[in-house]
Amino acid sequence: MIGEKVAQAPASDVAPTLLALRGVGKVFSNGVTALSNVDLTIREGDFLSLLGPSGCGKSTALRLIAGLSTPTSGVLDWRGGGSLDRANIGFVFQEPTLLPWASVFDNVWLPLRLKGISRAKAAPAIKQMLARVHLTGFEDAVPRELSGGMKMRVSIARAMVTKPRVLLMDEPFAALDEITRFKLNNDLLELWQDERFTVVFVTHSVFESVFLSNRVVVMAARPGRVFDELAIEAAYPRDEAFRTSPDYAALCRRASDVLISAINLTAGPHHDGH
């Protein structure tokens, strides 16, 4: 019955395309095919999760989108064509990846500083961003004085301070405890709904992907490829009530089934769990 919902036109269908990956493949010099023939359309305002087992190339896909790596085959077609402006991309790594010697304020300043914006001039934007991630009052703390969740908040603030059109996130909450992860999920959704940027979110958690996204793209490994896509129809805002709703459970089950099929596709007799 949930499957029927897919037939209805999801809201994102009407949104213009932001980026289209066409036949994108990536082969590393050691012969490993990280990605093979990936077709994927990312629309303006999507919260799109790339869900899959380890080695399915979801992080590689993210690095390709970020421009940190170039595809072996295929093209990344940004809306309006041509090369992308990197100012339009924010990236959040799996680790907070902060400058350990710099204060929270200076860490968030970094992207602006690299664009030649002075500390004083950047201050309003930084203060505003820190307030958005609930870190007001921690401007002068250095990363080691913060908890894992707070460090991740700084990392998100740093990625968002340039007001990017696309936020790329590479398993950002994987290392956090569940309570912290739920909180950050909620805050991220709130931010996304207010600012309406596009998110590409890499995760191996079915529950997280279903909770956050309007689209879940399930990937399979060896070679990394797109296996299937699910539209998550549940309305936003999604809150703690949604997390315990039967709808959510049903959606998770469906996503989980697809993920299991994707894993089984990969798992041969020599499956070693990597």
Residue 89 engages another protein in binding (rule: CB under 8 A): yes
Rounded to a whole number of angstroms, the minimum distance from the CB of residue 253 to another protein is 34
CB nearer to another protein: give 67 or 237: 67
Q: Please, are residues 59 and 43 in contact by the beta-carbon 8 Å criterion? A: no
Burial status of residue 196 (CB atoms within 10 A of its CB: 0-12, 13-18, 19 or more): exposed
Which of these ranges, 87-95, 171-179, 202-210, 258-266, lies near another protein under the rule CB under 8 A?
87-95
CB nearer to another protein: give 23 or 67: 67
Residue 110 engages another protein in binding (rule: CB under 8 A): yes
CB nearer to another protein: give 87 or 265: 87
Rounded-to-integer distance, Cα 182 and Cα 35, Å: 30
Tokens of 25: 């493949």
Distance of CA 182 to the CA centre of its chain: 15
CB nearer to another protein: give 111 or 223: 111
If DSSP codes are grouped into helix, strand and coil, which group holds residue 164?
coil
Residue 233 engages another protein in binding (rule: CB under 8 A): no
Tokens of 100: 């350990």
CB nearer to another protein: give 58 or 215: 58
Q: Tell me how crowded residue 224 is: count the other CB atoms within 10 A of its CB.
A: 27
Q: Which of 100, 246, 268, 273 binds another protein (CB under 8 A)?
A: 100
Query: Pattern 115-154, binding to another protein, x per CB under 8 A?
Result: x--------------------------xxx----------
Distances (CA, A) of 239 to 71, 143, 183: 38, 29, 10
Distance of CA 169 to the CA centre of its chain: 3
Distances (CA, A) of 187 to 94, 153, 163, 238, 240: 17, 9, 17, 11, 12
Q: Which residue has the tokens 């080691």?
A: 144
CB nearer to another protein: give 72 or 97: 97
Residue 23 engages another protein in binding (rule: CB under 8 A): no
Which of these ranges, 108-116, 126-134, 190-198, 245-253, lies near another protein under the rule CB under 8 A?
108-116
Which of these ranges, 25-33, 113-121, 200-208, 212-220, lies near another protein under the rule CB under 8 A?
113-121
Rounded to a whole number of angstroms, the minimum distance from the CB of residue 162 to another protein is 8
Beta strands 47-51 and 198-203, pairing class: parallel
CB nearer to another protein: give 144 or 270: 144
Residue 91 engages another protein in binding (rule: CB under 8 A): yes
Distances (CA, A) of 236 to 116, 118, 193: 37, 37, 8
Contacts with another protein by CB under 8 A lie at: 66-68, 86-87, 89, 91, 93, 95, 97, 99-102, 110-111, 113-115, 142-144, 162
